[in-house]
Structure formats: structure tokens, C-alpha cells
A = this chain, B = another copy of it.
Amino acid sequence: MQELVTDGWKPDSSLALPLHIQISNYIQAKIRSGAWPAGMRLAAQRDLARQLGVNRSTLVSALGQLTALGLIEGRRGGGTRVALSNDAHSNRAGNWNDYVEEGIHYPNLPTIQAINRLEFTKGLIRLGTGELSPELLPNETMKSILADLSRQSLPLSYEEPLGSLQLRTAISKELSNIGIHAAPSSILILSGALQGLQLIGQGLLPRGSTLLLEKPSYLYSIHSFQSVGVKLYGLPMDSEGLMTQGIEAEVHRTKASLLYTIPTYHNPTGILMTEERRHLLMNTTRALGLPILEDGAYQDLWLDNPPPPSLKAMDREGRVLHLGTLSKTVSPGLRIGWAVGPEPVIRRLADIKMQSDYGSSSLSQLLAAKWLEEGYHARHCEVLRMELRRRRDAVLDMLSTHFGHLASWNRPTGGFYIWLSLNKPLPLTKLFKAALEVGLLLNTGDLYNRSDARHLRLSYAYASLTELEIGIKRLAELVSSF
């Protein structure tokens, strides 16, 4: 939270006004307008100087002026903050700033916050990013769908609680191709699968309940459940997926009320749960009366063979709630996902969604409906699989060349990820920072399992093959040097 966002503003050395005065004026305006409120901490001088593109000494003289004006002051414990009592805020005005560490929702993990920002920094090679490279997104097709839409009447009003019926009908049809038979009334449109996790956390689970999940898991990197007081209990995986042996004991011990799983091309490990394991999981949990939340974010992205039936396709009791999304195959920016489940549950989630955002973008919903209805999805996925296969194979080759003596890894049969297992544990936060210094953005294993110290999530979906080649080589050098 203490990072300064300078909006990309930098002092202009072609002006007559000295740089330190330009900086001082800029910061004064921020403070006098209230954009930087009393008590706000400023970033460290080193970071500030870098962001403004000036020498440390220039910055120091700007800060000196601001201190003399009484606008900023030294903090106990080091650093600088906007003065609590200054010209601009001469009275004892409380301000929102006091509240930024309040609120029941946890902040993102510091590394995740950094990643979220740094992903928009040019020049970094993103070795672990969980999205398709822009060149793999169907830009041309989307443009032609937009052109079609521009000739019809648009849905500009609020949508109904479950979301556009046209889109739900299209999803219902799409799902029936993979053995999930769900009427539109069993489907809720979401602004991405993430929103589903958030709504389920808020709407279905009592405070203090326990959720079982794979360890590592994507779910550890977000706070949808922890922020509402739900405890996570991780179960081990093997190459066939979540291991079911421990489930019964854990259900009895923790009174777990739910099991979350990513059976198909798991994030972060890339593991595909085998058909046998799926049956075992369904049987074990049926006997225990344990509902399942199945996250199918990557299920369309098989590379070698189609995956076994989804858990939802095996469910006859309404015990599985299933999440899907267009983010990983088509466009994360559309923000279109869905939940499929028993109608009373879908209606409860729809009600909370109405309270959260009154539904998803009607334009995104219409575009998504056309995308599915007109068969673009199936054709696109075919091309995509070919591209991802090529990328996967190339990255596996790069790893053999550069990481043979440093790590081991799996050969994913779908999705985006290779789970790199380092031969020896490393301080991952340090590695993350050191990598950043040499232009690499990493997704370290501790994001997906707090105590992990020897994994990296690599993605062959985002960076170009040239970048991946440079990045993996550079990463191997860095890892060797640790």
C-alpha cells in the first residue's frame, strides 16, 4: 500500500524549471488536492527516485522543500509521510486513509499485488503468467462479431438475475457436449470464475467452516474464502490428481463442509486427474455427504487427448457445483464465466451477485453468446491447441537444455503450466526480487502453498517463444547462482 503511483508522470528536463521544483510542485498538488491524504506513507526514496527517473539527490532536495513547507514529515521507524497537520489539512480532519487497513477483506498477498501491477510494466518477461498471449486471442473474429452486433439492437439495460438467457442457453448447449446436462435455470453468468469463488465464499459457507482442497492450489493465492473466515485444509496430490485417502479422516476431524478441486489441468501443477481417481473421489465424497466445488477453468485446453468426464458430468445428486470461464481460452478481458449447479444454490448465488454488481456486462454477455452460438469456440480451440502444443514442446526442450541439472518437471497434457521442482529449496521471495532485477516476472510456488520453497509455476501460454528462450536461460543462471 505504501507504493507511490506517479501515474507515469516524470519531471521534464527540457523545461526551464529545475527538476526538484517540478517534483515538489507535483507532490504539493497531490497533497493540496487531498489525493495524498494526511498520514499517507510515501515510498522509499530509492523507489521514488526510480519512478520519477531522477537522481536520489534531486529527490532529496524536493523532499526537503516539502518538509520545510510542513507538507511532509519523517516517520518514526523511517520513511516519510504526508504531514498529519499541515497547511492543506490544518484541522483534525479524519480521513479515509485511516481505514485502508481496516475492512474484513484481506489484502492480496504482497507478491500477488506486485505481480498485478508489474504485469503492466513493459519489458519484463513474464514466465508464469496464467493467460494467453495476446497473439493467441481471437482478435479478428471478435472484431467481426462486433461488426455484426453493430447492426442489431443492443442489450443496454440491466440483465435478469441469472444473466442473459441467450448466453445461458448457449452455455447449456456447449456443456452438453462434454456430458454436463444443465438447463439455463441451473446456470448463473459470472464476471469470470473468480467471482464465483467470491460469491460462494460469501453466500454459502458459514464463518468458521473448513474447505478441503489440493495443496498446492490456485485457491491459496487468493482470499475469497479466508476473508470470510473459512479455513483451508490442503490434501496431497500425486501424478493422478488429488489423493483421496485422507479425505474421510479430514472430514471427521475438521467437519469440512466442502471440497474444492481443479481436476483438469490443475493450477499450478498442470496435473490431470485420471478417470479412475475421479470415480474414487466421487464415491468417497458421496459416502461422506461432502459437496464438491469443481473448477473447470482449463478443461477445454486439452493438448493430447480430451480429458475424462468432468465431475459435474458424473453427478446425479446435485452435489457438484461447477465453474467455467472464457478467460483461459478466449479472452480474460470479457470477464465471462459461469456456475452450474442445483437451482436453489444458483438462485442464492444470483441474489448475492445482484447485490454485488447487478450482473455482468450485457455487451460481454452478448458477445460471448454469439461466440458460442456460431461455433467460433470449437474452431478457435482447435487452433489454440495446436499453438499451445507447439509452445509446450518448445518449453520442455528449453528446460531440458537449461534446467536438466537444476530441477525436474512434469509434461502437461493440457492447460498452461509446468510445475518446476527445483533440486534444492531456495528463498523464493529473494528469488522473485532477484529475477525482477534481471527482467523476469516469476510466479513462485509459495503463492500456491505458503510453505513451499522449491517450485516455480512456468507458463508456456503467455510470453513469446523468443522471450521464453531468453527468460528460461536467464532463470537457470539465476537459480544456479543462488
Contacts and interface: CB of A to CB of B under 8 A. Distances in A.
Interface string A377-397: 000000000000000000000
A223 B207 CA distance: 18
B147 A317 contact: no
Contact of A94 (B6, B38, B290, B330): B290
A344 B100 contact: yes
Contacts of A458: none
The complex is assembled from copies of this chain, and their number is 2
B286 A103 contact: no
Contact of A345 (B96, B154, B181): B96
Interface string A138-182: 110011101101111111111111000000000000000000011
A5 to B, nearest CB: 5
B1 A347 contact: yes
B192 A342 contact: no
A204 interface: yes
Contact of A183 (B7, B92, B354): B7
A194 B356 contact: yes
B157 A332 contact: yes
Interface stretch (A105-113, A401-409, A424-432): A105-113
A438 to B, nearest CB: 23
Contacts of A153: 139
Interface in A66-104: 88-89, 91-97, 99-100, 102-104
Nearest to A206: B102
B343 A289 contact: no
Given A104-B202, A317-B37, A93 B286 contact: yes
A32 B202 CA distance: 28
A350 to B, nearest CB: 9
B143 A154 contact: yes
A357 B103 contact: no
B96 A341 contact: yes
B5 A343 contact: yes
B356 A356 contact: yes
A134 B198 CA distance: 32
A144 B150 contact: yes
B203 A103 contact: yes
Nearest to A143: B150
Contacts of A149: 143, 146
A205 interface: yes
Nearest to A316: B34
A449 interface: no
User: Which of A149, A157, A344 has the most C-beta atoms of chain B within 10 angstroms of its own C-beta?
Assistant: A344
Interface in A364-378: 364, 367
A36 B102 contact: no
Given A92-B289, A361-B364, A100 B1 contact: no
Nearest to A32: B316
A304 to B, nearest CB: 27
Interface of A: 1, 3, 5-7, 30, 32-38, 40, 88-89, 91-97, 99-100, 102-105, 107-108, 113, 116-117, 119-120, 131, 134, 137-139, 142-144, 146-147, 149-161, 181-186, 191-192, 194-195, 198, 201-207, 209, 222-224, 227-229, 257, 286-291, 315-321, 327, 330-335, 341-345, 347-348, 351-352, 354-364, 367
Given A40-B342, A138-B156, 6 more contacts: A103-B202, A104-B206, A119-B160, A143-B152, A147-B147, A335-B361
